[in-house]
């Protein structure tokens, strides 16, 4: 019997399946690249045409949102088709550094920091520092996730136990999603709100960036959503996704902001609830 006759029928199809997750990751990179380009283009005209700049900032925010969708799909497709590879994991992490690390910082710098603060001011320097720390904390978060996923046995004693249902620390895609949803909600550059109001909003954004940095390097648990859609409630999940998708189509500015804020805050809320439950009951001591 020849080799061609013994060759499995679906071998070529199986090889083709490995390209599908990579294609989604490549789309993720593409969206990050476009977000950076749109942010630069918006910054070029922010002083002369704020309305035109807001359109570019909104495009950049939408590109980051689409990148989150592609980033979610590449992992799910890889697990569904059993085509996950080590190089795919590393490629996905490198893509996340660009799309959810560099792209959001470029957007926030162009939208809410550089147009508001003078370049030699302390607020401007603080903004640049916090944006740098955002990228550093996001990269550290990705490195820790890769280490925990591939070599959990070499971790130092005291590291939280690996739980596939939860992430340790806030993942960088939801962090970028919250920042992008804020820009999508109000794409006009903050400098257009007036000097006092613009500076106030910018300082709030800086406080949010600092909070996201802390959450990314923390040990708070965040739901991974990997178990969603694997049980018997798939029909209800499809209906829920369809409903949310329609709401996003109709009211994207509000729905995306609510969803991203809810995910970022749920880890903190769960941690606060766990602390309250862990408190031992008070025992009255008789004199």
Alpha carbons 87 and 30: distance in angstroms, whole number: 18
Is the per-residue pLDDT at 231 higher than 80?
Answer: no
- Tell me the pLDDT tens digit for each residue of 78-124: 666 666 666 767 788 888 999 999 999 999 999 999 999 999 999 99
pTM to 2 decimal places: 0.83
Q: Residue 166: inside a domain, yes or no?
A: yes
Domain extent for 38 = 10-278
What integer is the mean pLDDT of 253-264?
A: 92
Q: Residue 5: inside a domain, yes or no?
A: no
Number of C-beta neighbours around residue 132 at 10 A: 12
Alpha carbons 260 and 272: distance in angstroms, whole number: 19
- Tell me the pLDDT tens digit for each residue of 129-151: 999 999 999 999 888 887 776 65
Q: Is the distance from CB of 81 to CB of 153 less than 8 angstroms?
A: no
Alpha carbons 265 and 39: distance in angstroms, whole number: 27
Q: Residue 137: inside a domain, yes or no?
A: yes
Q: What is the pLDDT, as a whole number, of residue 49?
A: 93
Q: Scanning the structure block, which residue is given the tokens 């799910």?
A: 76
Q: Residue 260: inside a domain, yes or no?
A: yes
Q: Residue 4: inside a domain, yes or no?
A: no
CA distance between the termini of the chain? 94
Domains: count for the chain: 1
Q: Residue 133: inside a domain, yes or no?
A: yes
Residue predicted with more confidence, 257 or 12: 257
Residue 141: name the closest of 216, 88, 209 by CA: 216
Give CA separation, 104 vs 16, 176, 205, 216, in Å: 33, 6, 12, 15
Q: Residue 1: inside a domain, yes or no?
A: no
Q: What is the pLDDT, as a whole number, of residue 150?
A: 64
Q: Residue 286: inside a domain, yes or no?
A: no
Which residues neighbour 82 within 8 Å (Cβ) at sequence distance 6 or greater?
none
Number of C-beta neighbours around residue 76 at 10 A: 15
Structure tokens given for 228: 């969603």
H helix intervals, 82-171: 86-97, 103-108, 122-150
- Tell me the pLDDT tens digit for each residue of 170-187: 999 999 999 999 999 999
Is the per-residue pLDDT at 11 higher than 70?
Answer: no
Alpha carbons 154 and 88: distance in angstroms, whole number: 22
Give CA separation, 97 vs 42, 129, 131, 141, in Å: 22, 17, 13, 10
What integer is the mean pLDDT of 35-57?
A: 94
Q: Grade residue 221 by pLDDT with cuts at 50, 70 and 90.
A: confident
Element (H, E) at 166: strand 166-168
What integer is the mean pLDDT of 189-202?
A: 92
Q: Is the distance from CB of 144 to CB of 220 less than 8 angstroms?
A: no
Residue 71: name the closest of 249, 187, 225, 179 by CA: 225
Residue predicted with more confidence, 255 or 4: 255
């Amino acid at each position: 019997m020849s080799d061609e006759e013994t060759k499995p029928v679906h071998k070529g199809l199986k090889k083709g399946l490995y390209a599908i997750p990579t294609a989604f990751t490549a789309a993720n990179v593409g969206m990050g690249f476009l977000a950076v380009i749109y942010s630069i283009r918006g910054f070029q005209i922010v002083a002369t045409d704020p309305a035109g700049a807001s359109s570019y900032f909104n495009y950049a925010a939408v590109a980051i949102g689409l990148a989150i969708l592609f980033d979610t799909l590449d992992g799910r497709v890889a697990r569904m088709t059993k085509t996950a590879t080590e190089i795919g994991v590393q490629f996905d992490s490198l893509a996340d550094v660009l799309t959810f690390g560099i792209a959001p910082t470029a957007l926030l710098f162009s939208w809410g920091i550089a147009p508001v603060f003078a370049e030699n001011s302390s607020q401007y320097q603080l903004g640049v520092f916090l944006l740098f720390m955002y990228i550093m904390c996001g990269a550290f978060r990705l490195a820790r996730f890769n280490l925990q996923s591939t070599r959990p046995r070499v971790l130092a004693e005291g590291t939280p136990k690996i739980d596939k249902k939860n992430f340790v620390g806030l993942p960088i895609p939801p962090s970028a999603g919250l920042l992008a949803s804020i820009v999508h909600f109000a794409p006009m550059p903050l400098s257009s709100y007036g000097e006092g109001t613009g500076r106030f909003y910018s300082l709030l954004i800086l406080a949010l960036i600092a909070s996201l940095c802390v959450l990314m390097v923390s040990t708070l648990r965040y739901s991974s959503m990997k178990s969603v859609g694997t049980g018997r409630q798939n029909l209800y999940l499809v209906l829920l996704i369809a409903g949310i998708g329609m709401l996003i189509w109709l009211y994207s500015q509000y729905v995306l902001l609510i969803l991203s804020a809810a995910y970022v805050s749920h880890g903190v809320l769960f941690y606060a609830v766990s602390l309250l439950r862990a408190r031992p009951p008070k025992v009255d001591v008789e004199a």
